[in-house]
A and B are shown apart, each in its own frame.
Chain A
Amino acid sequence: MNRENAIAILLLTILVFLFPQLTTDNYILTVGIFIGINSIVAIGLTILMGYAGQISLGQAGFYGIGAYVSAILSLSYGLPVMLSIITAIAVASIAATLLAIPSLRLKGHYLAVATLGFGEIIHIIINEWGPGGPSGFGDIPHFSIFGYTLQSTVEYFYLIWICIILIMIFSLNLLNSMTGKALRAIHDSEIATLTLGINITFLKIKVFVLSAVYASLAGALYAHYVTFLSPSGFSLFYSVLVLMMVVIGGISNIWGGIAGAIIITILPEVLRGFKEFDILMYGLILTLSLLFMRKGIVPMVIDVFRNKFLIKIRKNDA
């Protein structure tokens, strides 16, 4: 990981640990938890789209698999929560592999529709066969580790954001490694990458599975935090929402996933004040943001920062 990212991770860690000290407002912490859950999914999609150049409209499917499998295993089969989460992630990765092998032959819009189809099929399956059907089911066990069960909002806040820190460290390491460079290389020239002995398809499948692992982890955390699941949260709408987070946050930078998740999660909360106008305002803000912040928030902030910084250096030189 390079120095800027190491500093950013350090700052994030400090912020995560300070945040609950600064505010005791459980509502803000709850929003923080949902930002975190969305971030995990968005980080995965950023890597998939921004670095592997593949689009997915099926993240809700993996998110749903993670949530439902983990919830069912721990509730109906009495598996320890940690074990059920790991199993859920394994199931999601198998599903992702099976989907990726035929799908990644597809390009652009075709890939988008194939993943969309997968997500919708998962949605229909949990709607038809999931416990409780469309009405959903509750009383899912809380998250517990080494016999300690997490109850309070603060604990979940820490849990989820520690997960994010670990995920970011892993992802940044990965992107800085040979594998990450190879992914960036594919973007510039797929043919050249192939002739250098890199199995692009295999690499893309791995990244696809990675994004599914993240999404399913987020789903499982969601299930054990809210302790209630119904299919409505796992529809295409969620996939599109995550896509929006990634694009608004900035597809070319992995931190964009978190930035996008913050905006897209907080926006409806802020717009509560607008009552009926909220969906109107929401659409308007999204349109304007996309039109005028084309690169996304994080790359744009970096640009602004760099320009300021570089100008200063030049002045000093003169």
Chain B
Amino acid sequence: MMLEIKDISKSFGGIKALRNVSFSLRKSEIHALIGPNGAGKTTLMNIISGIEKMDKGDIVFNGISIKDFSAYRRAQMGLARTFQNIELFGNLTVLENILIGMYMKSHKGFILSGLNFRGVDEKTKSRGGSLLEYVNLSHRKGEIAKNLPVGEQRLLEIGRALATDPQLLLLDEPAAGLNTRETKNLSELIQKIRNERGVTILIVEHDMELVMGISDMITVLNFGEVIAEDKPLAIQKNPHVISAYLGED
């Protein structure tokens, strides 16, 4: 098991956002997390990546309980993510955004950095360049990140997450704000990442076509509870899921 979510609960001022949520991810699978708005998906993502604390439960990553680890420690262990409301470094260039992702693997220490005249070394830069190519952004290399269109910003976030060399990638609504063609490219990219790099992916997404197309497994969350977990085809037929979605729409 790559990641085991064990019995997680979380409430915000009396409102229960998550209730005893448990599920797990196998290595190199694409696992989708779906559910109506307010089901607690983003909260769960934040808890897994260590940005929010949970009230109770446990997270086991590669056999190690990481619930007491801070966000940066989890990232160092190979857990990367993207954000629903894009959290790029807006004032940095596209390449620099990728380079920050490579920080923990390539920075040289505080004092040595001050003594080194060359800045970021060529090897790191060329690795960053090839990552940009990987996410189809090499033509934007020198541009300021905040000037990119949303679709490309989403790609850049994925590229930045990949720069940390993750074993597990959390994607929080990567298709939000994308047009059909961009969504198609995205789904190809996600599959490519899994196939070529062997990265396990947990994706939160509303675009059902995308979810059904790429996922190996789907977990459905409603009002903070897991109401179903199954293969895509089975999920589509699950009456609980249908009523949850119909109730929302």
- C-alpha gap A188/B86 in the complex (Å): 11
In the complex the two chains form, is A193's CB within 8 Å of B100's CB? yes
A-contact bits for B72-99, CB 8 A (1 contact / 0 none): 1111100011010001111110001101
Q: Nearest Cβ in chain A — how far from B236, in angstroms?
A: 32
Chain B residue at smallest Cβ distance from A199: B72
**A-binding segment of B21-29, B116-124, B182-190, B209-217:** B116-124
In the complex the two chains form, is A173's CB within 8 Å of B49's CB? no
Q: Which residues on the A side are within 8 Å of B115 (C-beta)? A: 170, 173
B-contact bits for A280-317, CB 8 A (1 contact / 0 none): 00000000000000000000000000000000000000
Q: List 30 A-B contacts (CB under 8 A).
A: A170-B115, A173-B113, A176-B120, A177-B107, A177-B108, A177-B116, A178-B99, A178-B103, A178-B120, A181-B100, A182-B103, A185-B89, A185-B100, A188-B88, A188-B90, A188-B92, A189-B88, A191-B83, A192-B83, A192-B160, A193-B89, A194-B50, A194-B72, A194-B75, A195-B161, A197-B104, A198-B100, A198-B103, A198-B104, A199-B72
Which of A2, A171, A181, A200 makes the CB contact (< 8 A) with B96? A181
Question: Interface size (B, Cβ < 8 Å)?
Answer: 43
Q: Nearest Cβ in chain B — how far from A8, in angstroms?
A: 14
In the complex the two chains form, is B80's CB within 8 Å of A195's CB? yes
B63 at the interface (CB under 8 A from A): no
- C-alpha gap A194/B73 in the complex (Å): 9
Hey, which bits of chain A sit against chain B, CB under 8 A? Answer: 1-2, 169-171, 173-174, 176-182, 184-185, 187-189, 191-200, 206, 210
Please judge, given known A-B contacts A173-B119, A195-B75, whether A178 and B107 are in contact too, CB under 8 Å: yes
Work out how many contacts link A and B, with CB atoms closer than 8 A. Answer: 120
B247 at the interface (CB under 8 A from A): no
- C-alpha gap A109/B61 in the complex (Å): 39
Chain B residue at smallest Cβ distance from A193: B100
Please judge, given known A-B contacts A1-B117, A184-B89, A192-B87, whether A179 and B107 are in contact too, CB under 8 Å: yes
Q: Which residues on the B side are within 8 Å of A180 (C-beta)? A: 113
Given contacts A189-B88, A192-B160, 4 further A-B contacts (CB under 8 A): A176-B119, A181-B92, A185-B92, A191-B83
Please judge, given known A-B contacts A192-B88, A194-B51, A197-B72, whether A179 and B83 are in contact too, CB under 8 Å: no
Q: Which residues on the A side are within 8 Å of B88 (C-beta)? A: 188-189, 192
B147 at the interface (CB under 8 A from A): no
Q: Nearest Cβ in chain A — how far from B212, in angstroms?
A: 28
B43 at the interface (CB under 8 A from A): no
Hey, which bits of chain B sit against chain A, CB under 8 A? Answer: 49-51, 70-76, 80-81, 83, 87-92, 96-97, 99-104, 106-108, 110, 113-117, 119-120, 124, 160-161, 163-164
- C-alpha gap A188/B160 in the complex (Å): 15
In the complex the two chains form, is B160's CB within 8 Å of A196's CB? yes
- C-alpha gap A189/B86 in the complex (Å): 10
- C-alpha gap A174/B102 in the complex (Å): 17
Q: Nearest Cβ in chain A — how far from B72, in angstroms?
A: 5
Q: Nearest Cβ in chain A — how far from B233, in angstroms?
A: 33
Q: Nearest Cβ in chain B — how far from A176, in angstroms?
A: 4
In the complex the two chains form, is B89's CB within 8 Å of A192's CB? yes
Q: Which residues on the B side are within 8 Å of A199 (C-beta)? A: 72
- C-alpha gap A312/B50 in the complex (Å): 51
